[in-house]
Amino acid sequence: MNAWANAFVGIPYAAFGRDRYGADCWGLACIVYREARDTLLPDYLGYGSVEEHAEIDALISGAEGSPLWQPRSGPAQAFDIAVFRRGRLSTHLGIVIRPGVMLHMVDEDRAKIEAYSTGRWGNRLVGHFHWQGVTP
């Protein structure tokens, strides 16, 4: 069940990265969708820096309101995007492997698999969203 996710574990962190040489949390989602789903996601490189959390929050909020992303009503499914708050702002996301387990960029380290229904992410979940955009 995790076979697709295991192929992405260990990708190193890089601010604004969008490839296997390095990625941020959204870059990891772009890589996963491109390689595992044959889908190109928008790169969302319009924010100033990873440290500018308010801009990242606005970017995520804008994506949440986009017709390309729909809230998941019901249990999360593989490849949904789980959005999390850090403090008051939504500034982190992971790719759902199965309900409660995600692939994500851990801090400024590398991509890892982690449970998110409990522990440090359990009370930070904003919601799950699934892609409704066009696949090239």
* Residues 10-49 pLDDT 10s: 999 998 899 999 999 889 999 999 999 999 887 776 554 5
Domain covering 3-131, topology: endopeptidase fold (from Nostoc punctiforme) (3.90.1720)
List, as own/partner pairs, every contact residues 42-50 make where C-beta atoms lie below 8 angstroms and the sequence separation is at least 24, other chains included: 42/68, 43/18, 45/16, 45/18, 49/15, 50/15, 50/16, 50/24
pTM here?
A: 0.84
CA dist 136 and 4 (Å) reads 20
CA dist 16 and 64 (Å) reads 20
CA dist 133 and 136 (Å) reads 9
Quick one: tokens of 128? 């799950």
